[in-house]
Structure 1
Amino acid sequence: MSDFNKDEYLNDLPDMDDLSGQAAPAAASAADGASADSAAGAAGATQEGAAQPAAAQSQENGDSAAADGADKADAADGKADDTLTPLGQAKKEAAEYLEALQRERAEFINFRNRAQKEQERFRQHGIIDVLTALLPALDDIDRIREHSEMDDSFKAVANKIDKAFEKFGVEKFGEKGEDFDPTKHDAILHKPDPNAEKETVDTVVEAGYRIGDRVIRAARVVVASPQN
């Protein structure tokens, strides 16, 4: 749905002045007649007022001013609606309903995005719980791979477990020879090495696991360090 501009929409609405252009001359003539009658009445009122007491004249002027103020206030309140045709009024109401609908749609989109983020967060927590529970078994599989021969059936099962975790975004890390990084490696021992120019991983005791940028468990390693 494209963005809706209520002000631009309402500016295009027809008003009573546009639809009553032909009646304007007649209205102007009537207004002139009314002005003439008002002038004659004002003249008569002036003559009669000369004979009235000063206190009564002041009271009459005050009442007239109050009545004029009330009429102007009523005219101002109804001016906006009186200038619209029935079609224009209907279009105005339709614009207000459409604006309200767009606000509701925006709130629903925000709610849906928050729900999706919450769902992904709960899904990731579930994966982490399962991975944490299986870490001892995964460490045993790695030791068997490193220190003994695995038969074909056991190797097939181990590979299926690795692929299952990869499907859920779990990444295994920690290899001999890579640079030591304290943000993802847990050094259980530093041993001097005359051939080492910088700290590197010499032995991986337990592999590390992460999901995206989140480290679930740091790799436990032995670090070869320069002697100096």
Structure 2
Amino acid sequence: MSDFNKDEYLNDLPDMDDLSGQAAPAAASAADGASADSAAAAAGATQEGAAQPAAAQSQENGDSAAADGADKADAADGKADDTLTPLGQAKKEAAEYLEALQRERAEFINFRNRAQKEQDRFRQHGIIDVLTALLPALDDIDRIREHSEMDDSFKAVANKIDKAFEKFGVEKFGEKGEDFDPTKHDAILHKPDPNAEKETVDTVVEAGYRIGDRVIRAARVVVASPQN
């Protein structure tokens, strides 16, 4: 086994200056990379910060343009009014007042027509209620007229009642010999008749009443019908 030579071993070791020179470039490269990343981040933040004020400025410019347009329109209207002569301004105001008056007049006419229709309907309902309540008495008067002699005083009262209902538009209908109409006649019996060519009213049991086209009560009749 050879002897260990201390001096030779120390001479073979690398110089410390060389080691420090190799480590320094590596550290410098790492530092340069970190600096580049920081610079890129700072640049991105700067661009984002610049974009936000630009968008806000654009929105603000749009709002300002809309407000300016409205102000210009109002100013144009005011300028048009200013350019009118006193006579022209008076004519313009007179036209506006006339238009408002015509509109109010049309609304009043519509209201008056509706009120008149409501009044007529209520009036008709009242007449119908009174007529319906007096129908039994009117039927008795008709039976007395048909089957017995009426003295002059009773006949005068019956005629006054008939005229009073005529005054309110009440029409009495139902006569023997007229054609049978199911819309205004209520047939309580159909009687075959060899002489009948079509259905006709043979006997009026109770007269019918109507107001205009509205049937209050259909006439109750006996109908003569052809045998075939």
Which band: TM-score by shorter chain?
0.5 to 0.7
Change (3 A) 1:53 1:206: closer
Q: What is the alpha-carbon distance in structure 2 between the residues aligned to residue 9 and residue 87 of structure 1? A: 123
Work out the percentage of aligned pairs sharing the same amino acid.
99
Backbone CA RMSD of aligned residues: 33.1
Change (3 A) 1:78 1:29: farther
Q: String of CA shifts for 1:109-163, please: whole Å, max 9, x gaps.
A: 1111111111111111111110000000000000011111111111111111111
Instruction: Judge conservation of contact 1:15–1:85 (CA < 8 Å) in 2.
Output: no
Instruction: Judge conservation of contact 1:6–1:99 (CA < 8 Å) in 2.
Output: no
Q: String of CA shifts for 1:88-122, please: whole Å, max 9, x gaps.
A: 22321222112101110111111111111111111
Instruction: Judge conservation of contact 1:6–1:96 (CA < 8 Å) in 2.
Output: no
Which residue is equivalent to 2:130? Answer: 130
Q: What is the alpha-carbon distance in structure 1 between the residues aligned to residue 195 and residue 188 of structure 2? A: 20
Of the structure 1 ranges 26-35 and 68-77, higher mean CA displacement relative to structure 2 is found in 26-35
The secondary structure found in structure 2 opposite 1:178 is: coil
Deviation of 1:215 after TM superposition, in Å, equals 0.5
Which residue is equivalent to 2:7? Answer: 7
Of the structure 1 ranges 70-79 and 144-153, higher mean CA displacement relative to structure 2 is found in 70-79
Q: What is the alpha-carbon distance in structure 2 between the residues aligned to residue 164 and residue 4 of structure 1? A: 159
Of the structure 1 ranges 19-28 and 173-182, higher mean CA displacement relative to structure 2 is found in 19-28
Change (3 A) 1:84 1:205: same
Instruction: Judge conservation of contact 1:189–1:221 (CA < 8 Å) in 2.
Output: yes
Q: What is the alpha-carbon distance in structure 2 between the residues aligned to residue 157 and residue 2 of structure 1? A: 170
The secondary structure found in structure 1 opposite 2:17 is: helix
Q: String of CA shifts for 1:189-213, please: whole Å, max 9, x gaps.
A: 1111111100000000000001111
Instruction: Judge conservation of contact 1:193–1:224 (CA < 8 Å) in 2.
Output: yes
Of the structure 1 ranges 196-205 and 29-38, higher mean CA displacement relative to structure 2 is found in 29-38
Larger Rg: 2
Q: String of CA shifts for 1:149-185, please: whole Å, max 9, x gaps.
A: 1111111111111111111111100011000000000
* TM-score (norm. length: structure 2): 0.67
Of the structure 1 ranges 134-143 and 50-59, higher mean CA displacement relative to structure 2 is found in 50-59
**How many residue pairs are counted as aligned between the two chains?**
228
Deviation of 1:19 after TM superposition, in Å, equals 103
Of the structure 1 ranges 84-93 and 101-110, higher mean CA displacement relative to structure 2 is found in 84-93
Higher RCO, 1 vs 2 (CA within 8 Å, ≥6 residues apart): 1
Instruction: Judge conservation of contact 1:16–1:84 (CA < 8 Å) in 2.
Output: no
Q: String of CA shifts for 1:29-66, please: whole Å, max 9, x gaps.
A: 99999999999999999999999999999999999999
